Amino acid sequence: MRQIIAIGGGGFGREIGELKIERYIKEQSNKKNPKICFIPTATGDDASYIENFYKAFNSLECITSHIDFFKRTIDLKPHILDQDIIYVGGGNTKSMLAVWREWGLDSILKEAYENNIIMSGVSAGAICWFEKGITDSYRDSQAILPCLGFVKGICCPHYDEEPERIPYVSKSLKENKIDECIAIEGYCALHLINDKPKYSVSFNKENNTHHVSCKNNKIIHNELENIEKIRL
């Protein structure tokens, strides 16, 4: 079973709190001590982010590791394929993908996904799995960025958290730059199973995942079809 858990915002990168979404991710492995590897490339392998990862998932009794690209880098393929869960951190998506492609990590992650290793992550680590993502990798503007394409669609994180997100998605729809968008609010995750959205998982407030489209120049927000809501 292929799984992706795409988080719109929140989690251990902001604070070590109740670890609701982290616990949820661990539970999907059905293992007491799953192996989980953190990939913090989008922040340039920020040390404090890595420290928070270890604090969070060590407390959940996971077998933890991370990958550095800005120090000496391990042999990627055997390490990635030995994991139960991959967790990708937030940050600059465009730079992250460029580094991954240079190292061949994009194809390794694809193989891992096809081998039923769970893919997860927040912000950049949420949109990277889709065909395209709405990114703020550029300082002064939002952009539509080609991503890994493991699953179909265009994804926007932080939909209710960052004021520029909703206007940009609306403008892109009205100008026919995109046909539709999967918009994930903060403190919410979209759980995809076998490439299809299955659960909208809220882990703090009553937040949701939306299907956003445009008809007759009017923006329409609907719930994703055939999706179940989970409140942690």
pLDDT digits (tens, 9 = 90+) for 27-77: 999 999 999 999 999 999 999 999 999 999 999 999 999 999 999 899 999
pTM above 0.85, yes or no: yes
Distances from the Cα of 39 to the Cα of 1, 119, 126, 192, angstroms = 22, 11, 12, 20
For tokens 């769970």, what's the residue?
A: 118
The residue range of the domain holding 45 is 3-231
Has 79 been annotated as catalytic? no
Q: 119 - beta bridge partners?
A: 4, 86
pLDDT tens-digit readout, 5-19: 999 999 998 888 899
Residue length, the chain? 232
Asked whether 112 and 86 are in contact (CB, 8 A), the reply is yes
Cα–Cα distance, 184 to 67 (Å, whole number):
26
| Domain count within the chain | 1
Has 191 been annotated as catalytic? no
Give the pLDDT of residue 59.
Answer: 97
Sequence-distant (6+) residues with CB within 8 A of 75 are: none
CATH number of the domain where residue 157 is located: 3.40.50.880
Give the pLDDT of residue 39.
Answer: 98
Q: Which of 123, 137, 172, 202 is catalytic?
A: 123
Q: Which of 158, 200, 202, 210 is catalytic?
A: 158
